[in-house]
Amino acid sequence: MNFQQLKIIREAARQDYNLTEVANRLFTSQSGVSRHIRELEEELGIEIFIRRGKRLLGMTEPGKALLVMAERILNEASNVRRLADVFTNDACGVLTIATTHTQARYSLPSVIKSFRSLFPEVRLELIQGTPQEIETLLHNGTADIGIASERLSADPLVVAYPWFNWYHTLLVPRGHALIDATPLTLDDISRWPLITYRQGITGRARIDEAFSRRGLTPDIVLSAQDSDVVKTYVELGLGIGLVAFQASGEQEGLVRLDTRHLFAANTVWLGLKRGQLQRNYVWRFIELCNPALSVAEIKRLALEPAETVLDYQI
């Protein structure tokens, strides 16, 4: 058994058992990947994958158990390589944060300002992307911290800490008929062309769920990735807009209407790759966002196995 075989097992699960993608990710050939799998199965005397002909469909029960072990072994090996760097450069370096546009634009500035006063020698890099892209950047080590309202808390390879809860709010042009709707209802909103986030972005699932429960199909005439785009097209008169409250800021020509009674709350999560050692300033950044968690608690949760059940306070 060797590290390359364990990397192949891990990558196969990540790439939905597509060996071509596994080979591309590990910079090797598909035949080499197949050979490593065959040799490992022969060495262990078990079948790791469920097969249909030459295709891999999933993992056997022994394969799933091996995947958990492989994750831990590879994480520990990575930690060994990071050990000296973590303890000798804990106040300088680069902190890479993968986040959505909404959080980068509206939620992070005050935290980053406080962080910079504590760690003036740490350079920051913000990578904006979708929740899926953020998750991938955490998995492959490109990002130290991921921030999003979607996906992170459900990923067993990521430990997620809550930052804050937020609601959607409705933006309408001044003088719009909905301003006088008391109370504002989903039926009222569904009568107008709607502009909001695209699927998988900034709590869009909460919007869809609310309308679905009422048996309504909103007329979403435009969907976008970030709040500023939504606001731009509301200002142009293409429709009314549903955006995150923190991004809705009053601006000339638009009125903000409360919809907390219509859509469930969303949580912004701060994610770290589970089981990975971090420099001190990474732990401290999480603490700055959620002071209810001490650095010791943040470390403990990050380095515990995925099976641990987490109970947070926001």
For the stretch 226-253, pLDDT in tens is 899 999 999 999 999 999 999 988 677 8
Q: How confident is the model at residue 259 (pLDDT cuts 50, 70, 90)?
A: very high
The token pair at 76 is 């520990």
CA distance 112 to 126: 11
Tell the residue number behind the tokens 């800490």, with chain if given. Answer: 161
Mean pLDDT, the chain, whole residue set: 89
Are the C-beta atoms of 298 and 107 separated by less than 8 Å? no
- Domains of the chain and any CATH numbers: 3-84 (1.10.10.10), 91-165+266-303 (3.40.190.10), 168-258 (3.40.190.10)
Predicted confidence (pLDDT) at residue 309 exceeds the cutoff of 70: no
For the stretch 189-215, pLDDT in tens is 999 999 999 998 889 999 999 999 999
Q: How confident is the model at residue 286 (pLDDT cuts 50, 70, 90)?
A: very high
* Pairwise pLDDT comparison (172 vs 55), residue with the higher score: 172
pLDDT of residue 87: 63
pLDDT of residue 84: 61
Are the C-beta atoms of 185 and 259 separated by less than 8 Å? no
Predicted confidence (pLDDT) at residue 307 exceeds the cutoff of 60: no
CA distance 121 to 135: 27
pLDDT of residue 314: 47
Give the whole-number percent of the chain exceeding pLDDT 70: 93
CA distance 132 to 200: 8
Predicted confidence (pLDDT) at residue 25 exceeds the cutoff of 90: no
Q: Looking at the chain, how many residues does it have?
A: 314
Best CA proximity match to 218, nearest among 233, 228, 206: 206
pLDDT of residue 79: 63
Q: 6-45 burial string, b = 16+ CB within 10 Å, else e?
A: bbbbbbbbebebbbebbbebbebeeeebbebbeebbeeee
pLDDT of residue 285: 97
Task: Using the Cα atoms of residue 290, residue 226, residue 273 and residue 64 in order, give the sign of their dihedral.
Answer: positive
For the stretch 103-152, pLDDT in tens is 999 999 999 999 999 999 999 999 999 999 999 999 888 999 999 988 89
Predicted confidence (pLDDT) at residue 26 exceeds the cutoff of 80: yes
pLDDT of residue 308: 41
Task: Work out whether strand 145-148 and strand 266-273 pair parallel, antiparallel, or are unpaired.
Answer: antiparallel
| Amino acid identity at 312 | Y
pLDDT of residue 118: 95
Q: How confident is the model at residue 256 (pLDDT cuts 50, 70, 90)?
A: very high
For the stretch 54-65, pLDDT in tens is 889 999 999 988
Helix/strand/coil (H, E, C) string of the chain?
CCHHHHHHHHHHHHCCCCHHHHHHHCCCCHHHHHHHHHHHHHHHCCCCEEEECCEEEEECHHHHHHHHHHHHHHHHHHHHHHHHHHHHCCCCEEEEEEECHHHHHHHCHHHHHHHHHHCCCEEEEEEECCHHHHHHHHHCCCCCEEEECCCHHHCCCEEEEEEEEECEEEEEECCCHHHHCCCCCHHHHHCCCEEEECCCCCCHHHHHHHHHHCCCCCCEEEEECCHHHHHHHHHCCCCEEEEEHHHCCCCCCEEEEECCCCCCCEEEEEEEECCCCCCHHHHHHHHHHCCCCCHHHHHHHHHCCCCCCCCCCC
Strand ranges of the sheet holding 145-148, from the earlier edge strand across to the other edge? 122-128, 93-99, 145-148, 266-273, 158-166
pLDDT of residue 244: 94
CA distance 102 to 106: 6
**Terminal CA-CA length for the chain:** 44
